[in-house]
Structure 1
């Protein structure tokens, strides 16, 4: 079999030297043209970029704007992946192919939301939820505790044909592999854990309360001022942004795995009424999580 001559052009393309293969005389492709070289460039084989989709269900999209607020830090990360869908960044048409990671913000309220969510779960190796609404029901879940279906009448004059189900968290419908907590999410935390998810690994947020961050920042504890705060039972990672502003932590990041809700209730009895406690836990969907935690046997 005739040998094949290789000529290195010395041109470096994408960190690989371009190689030109000369087809020797006698090759059937060049019969009748003995002087023809007809070079064919052997392109370097590049690694496939992970495919990621960031998708909105019914939401304010505030958590996605946090990603954009990261500026170049986020764009540098985007350059390392193939963004299949992220409408705040570019109007892309999702081709419906397999995904390495799907990130979902918002509540599955409409039938179209549900169709989208189920499709993403089926296509994605990993699915993460972005923010309090997807993870805990968020502010929209308040309606579940009050007028329920009647709340829609406060928004729409004509309600016929408008879907208005009970607001439920994403993990009621599909398996969730990871949660970016908060309302909104913390940008630096997303930058910390997103590369792990893109690489196919599921990270774990340390089970530390918001109080740890208050101590690190030198904040005076609100309890010492007889002001209520949910910090001891809530998962940290937000840099204690609310207590630092002298506002109580209202629990948008959700309960710690080891958060003691009964002890929290007892501590707060001198600072807020039972009704105030219930009303505050409704704001970010914390109420039903506390009720579940306090069920006998838990």
Structure 2
């Protein structure tokens, strides 16, 4: 069977990550440890995760014409993601995410969109195959991608923001975590003929189809180091598994295992697992 072809329309960032024993409370200063720079952005994370798991992947995105862009694109380029649809923006800097990671792997994130916020509907070309979108780029661009996609559309409702019903209706797969699902309202997301995956953190995920629960899975037990890319890996893995024709329960278990595997190393993209690693983890 040929590898599924996926186009990711979304964000590319450079993650500036500070490690600390714990996350700060509001107004509190916590002394940190090492500071590191990692490629990131939800779109880029999902693109590289899908590629490492076996898909043929291309991206439509924007980065600045600056030093951060080279660092942000390095792992995508090395991983074989087609970057011909990534535009260098002369007016806006590459997006940056400021991240604090605690010793137990939890994180807090603030994103400055930069060039991601300038990704326009006219930057989106025809998408003959499947597509994955998130909400770190302008909503009108996500809507343009939904219209341009001729195949399977996966929509990750993160970060949570108001979206029109027409976008939800177009999506074949919607992925949201518990807080995002609460923001939109579960009843609104459980549309006839659509799949909805709700992630539950360490408790796994639930997959609904046409409003009915079809599968529930828990991830393999791991000791997380950094959870930054776990949700994005889940989105990519579930999309790929469904495109490959896996049964819903098997696809959800694969996605949960992939998300768990992504927490074992620092950095959103440097920790993204390959298919063999995920399948090995599932066999434990």
Q: What is the TM-score when the length of structure 2 is the normalising length?
A: 0.29
User: Which structure's CA Rg is the greater one?
Assistant: 1
Structure number with greater CO (CA < 8 Å, separation at least 6) is: 2
Higher strand proportion, which one?
2
Q: What is the TM-score when the length of structure 1 is the normalising length?
A: 0.28
